[in-house]
Amino acid sequence: SQQGEEDPQALSIQEGENATMNCSYKTSINNLQWYRQNSGRGLVHLILIRSNEREKHSGRLRVTLDTSKKSSSLLITASRAADTASYFCATEEGEFGQGTRLTINP
Amino acid sequence: NAGVTQTPKFQVLKTGQSMTLQCAQDMNHEYMSWYRQDPGMGLRLIHYSVGAGITDQGEVPNGYNVSRSTTEDFPLRLLSAAPSQTSVYFCASSYSKTRGVNYGYTFGSGTRLTVV
């Protein structure tokens, strides 16, 4: 079963806009992780947020976590064409969602 | 530092054939795992290992075997390939002795397998 479920499944925006992806999970967690997958490549770890954190930043990435709602969001600000990829959330148990496919249009 | 190395990158098998997908990591990670990725299905865990000599089943283990004789290597064996096993397979590792706690996963670049 998939613990992390991303929403939306696909997102297409213009370069320079912000992109927001959401993730819901089912069980208690110690941390939630976000990954990026470029087409035909493996997943790359982006950011990890612990259960006692509400928000975390890394460059143009901002992740929030609401453990009461069992949900997280990933915000990419000032998007670039190179951000085109699929984004996945995952619990520390290694359970991944189906991902959000993000397309940045020039 | 190579990270997680998977071989081969591509493979075509006939139904009923067997083969081994190789995975090696050079980061001294305790935890290693195998996933398959199918369109619209996300990543599904096949097998995992929390250390040398210890393996366990994930969500979709049927038709696959694993072993962990060393910390570095975690091969995945397809016993008798079926078209339903056509997929992209990823190996992942993590430093922690428990699944992914604190550090996250490092993935290989994948093996694209087609069974005809």
Residue A39's identity, in one-letter code, is: S
Nearest neighbour of B107 by CB, restricted to A30, A42, A98: A42
pLDDT at site B97: 64
**Residue A30 sits at the chain B interface (C-beta within 8 Å):** yes
| Banded pLDDT at B99 (limits 50, 70, 90) | low
pLDDT at B100 > cutoff 80: no
Judged by CB atoms closer than 8 Å, whether chains meet at B59 and A30 is answered as no
Chain A closest-CA separation from residue B51 CA (Å): 15
Cα radius of gyration rounded to whole Å, chain B: 13
Q: How confident is the model at residue B42 (pLDDT cuts 50, 70, 90)?
A: confident
Partner-chain contact B99 A94, CB within 8 Å: yes
Residues of B in contact with A42 (CB under 8 A): 4, 90, 107-110
| Cα separation values, B34 from A62, B15, B103, Å | 29, 21, 18
Per-residue confidence (pLDDT) for residue B98, from 0 to 100: 67
Burial A44-61 (b: 16+ CB within 10 A, else e): ebbbbbeeeeeeeeeeeb
Within 8 A of B50 by CB-CB distance, chain A residues are none
DSSP secondary structure of chain A: --S-EEE-SEEEEETTS-EEEEEE-SS--SEEEEEEE-TTS-EEEEEEEETT-SEEEETTEEEEEETTTTEEEEEE-S--GGG-EEEEEEETT--B---EEEEEE-
Q: Is A58 on the interface with B (CB under 8 A)?
A: no
Q: Is A17 on the interface with B (CB under 8 A)?
A: no
Give which of B116, B114, B111 is closest to B35, Cα–Cα.
Answer: B111
Question: B41 and A96: CB-CB below 8 Å?
Answer: no
- In degrees rounded to 5, what are phi and psi of residue B83? -55, -30
Tell me which residue in A30, A45, A92 faces B106 most closely, judged by beta carbons: A45
| B chain contacts of residue A93, beta-carbon cutoff 8 Å | 99-100
Task: Compute how many other C-beta atoms are within 10 angstroms of the C-beta atom of residue B38.
Answer: 13
Residue B40: pLDDT band with limits 50, 70, 90: confident
Q: B interface mutation test: which of A2, A96, A101 has the most B CBs within 10 A?
A: A96
Going residue by residue through chain A (106 aa), what tens digit of pLDDT does each one get?
345 678 899 999 999 999 999 999 988 888 999 999 999 899 999 999 999 999 999 999 999 999 999 999 999 999 999 999 999 999 888 889 889 999 999 9
